[in-house]
Amino acid sequence: MPSKSFVQRIRIETHAVWLAVRDPRTPVLAKLVGLLVAAYALSPIDLIPDFIPVLGLLDDAILIPAGVWLFARMIPVELLAEHRATAAAASERPVSKWGIAIILATWALIALLAYELVMLSYD
C-alpha cells in the first residue's frame, strides 16, 4: 500500500483531533487546544493567506502539525490511537460520485434559476 501524502496525513490527524475533542475522556484543557487546532485546520482564514507563494502553505505545514503534536502530548496515547484509527478508516471510505453529481446538478439548477430571475427583472 502506498504511503499517505503529507496533506492526507494532516487531514487524518485533524479528523482524529476533532474526534478526540468530542470524546468525554479528553481533559478540558486538551479539548480547548484541540478545538483551536481543528478550527485553524478547517478555517478558510489563515495567518498567512495561501495565495502567497511558499509562505501561504508553510504556515499550515508548521502550525497544524505543531498543534496536533501539542494535543497528542495532552491526552492518553491510547485515546488518540483509537481516534486516529477511526479517522484513518473514514479516509478510506469511497467517495460517492453520484453524491458529487447531485450536488453539482443542484448548484447548476440554482445558478440557472438565479440567471432566469435576473433576466426576468430586465424584461
Determine the pLDDT at residue 94: 66
| Burial group, residue 20, by CB count within 10 angstroms (0-12, 13-18, 19+) | buried
Contact 64, 10 (CB under 8 A): yes
CB contact at 8 A, 83 and 16? yes
pTM above 0.85, yes or no: no
Instruction: Give the dihedral sign, CA 45/20/61/32.
Output: positive
pLDDT band for position 29 (cuts 50, 70, 90): very high
Q: What is the pLDDT of residues 42-94, one digit of tens each?
A: 777 777 777 777 777 787 788 889 999 999 999 999 999 999 999 999 887 76
DSSP codes joined into one string, 99-116: HHHHHHHHHHHHHHHHHH
What does the alpha-carbon distance between residue 56 and residue 45 come to, in Å, rounded to a whole number? 11
Domain boundaries of the chain, sorted by first residue: 6-92, 95-123
Q: Is the pLDDT of residue 2 over 80?
A: no
